[in-house]
Amino acid sequence: MGNFVKYSEAFVEYLQIEKNASPYTVKYYRNDLEIFFEFLDREGIRDLNEVGQRDIRIFLTNLYDKQLGRRSVSRKISSLRSFYRFLEREEMVNDNPFVNIYLPKASKTVPGFLYKEELEKLFEVNDMTKPLGQRDQAILELLYGTGIRVSECQGLSLRDVDFSIGTIFVKGKGRKERYVPFGRFAEIALETYIHDGRVKLLEKADTSSESVFLNARGKPLTTRGIRTILNKIVERAALTVHVHPHKLRHTFATHMLNEGADLRTVQELLGHESLSSTQIYTHVTKDHLRDVYMKSHPRANGKNLDL
């Protein structure tokens, strides 16, 4: 694999500097390249220019033999297509053998979301007289009230919260930044926690911290910690549904669209680069739209009209 390291490092540098890719994105590209390079080594291929259609078919077969799903395979093909496109631009290879390799797109899974009745149960279980209860309530209200990702929630610092105009400053994927408004319930929960519970948690630490959300020892909370907190809230609410942070994000988007928000606004609030990423939520709202139509349109339900 040593023969290919220089190409890999050049590509990673391009991702970081020109594409401003996040560390997570770079990590996935690296992993995809390593898998490809290991395959080339096994096949005795020492030059990226030697890779042909037959080699790629064998590579795909190997991926499926490892029980990888269609989505994972598609991502790897996309990564390698981008890799070769970069090498072509830099005149390191003559052509891109992945340019005509396309896998049929798997049907997009409709994201799960919570109904309002389920949400109400979640909001009722935290003990607001205790620091951890105040923190948990603030996390819950913020995730649902803004639709931010768990990593964005974990990364919030005190200076990112502006109570005067009711917004948080979010550093999202690909180092993209945006301002997201929050409502009255999130405001009350955040103020209560920051001015009371957080102060008490910070007293348990030997160092200060600007992170909004702290653990029981007064240290910055991790993304895994936030997921654990949500699981415990679900247990206390005696819900049978699985609630992960992203489900609250799905719920935020679905409820916004159901209540009449336009797709572009929801796209901006979620921090989606492409509108197609937001459009998946329109599938969730179709049943709602049909229900409204059937109840509202004079000639929808087949009843006789007195006109």
- Percent composition of the chain: helix, strand, coil (DSSP 3-state, to 5): 60, 5, 35
Q: How many CA atoms lie within 13 A of 252 on its CB side?
A: 28
Long-range contacts from 50-57, C-beta under 8 angstroms, 24+ separation: 51/97, 52/97, 53/97, 55/97, 56/97, 56/98, 56/101
* 250 labelled catalytic: no
Using CA atoms, how far residue 305 sits from 289, 291, 292, in Å, is 22, 20, 18
Q: Which of 135, 247, 249, 250 is catalytic?
A: 249
CB 103 within 8 A of CB 59: no
H-type helices in 90-244, by residue range?
116-123, 131-146, 150-154, 184-192, 198-202, 223-237
* 246 labelled catalytic: yes
CA–CA separation, 247 and 147 (whole Å): 9
CA 264 to chain centroid: 18
Q: Which residue has the tokens 């590579």?
A: 59
Number of other CB atoms surrounding residue 90 within 10 Å: 12
Q: What is the 3-state secondary structure (H, E, C) of 189-217?
A: HHHHHHHHHHHHHHCCCCCCCCECCECCC
In 3D space, the residue among 207, 228, 205 whose CA is nearest the CA of residue 217 turns out to be: 205
Q: Which of 135, 149, 247, 250 is catalytic?
A: 149
Q: Which of 76, 250, 255, 272 is catalytic?
A: 272
In 3D space, the residue among 152, 147, 130 whose CA is nearest the CA of residue 213 turns out to be: 152
Q: Is the dihedral of CA 128, 132, 135, 141 positive or negative?
A: negative
* 29 labelled catalytic: no
* 281 labelled catalytic: yes
CA–CA separation, 112 and 217 (whole Å): 34
Which residues are catalytic, by number?
149, 173, 246, 249, 272, 281
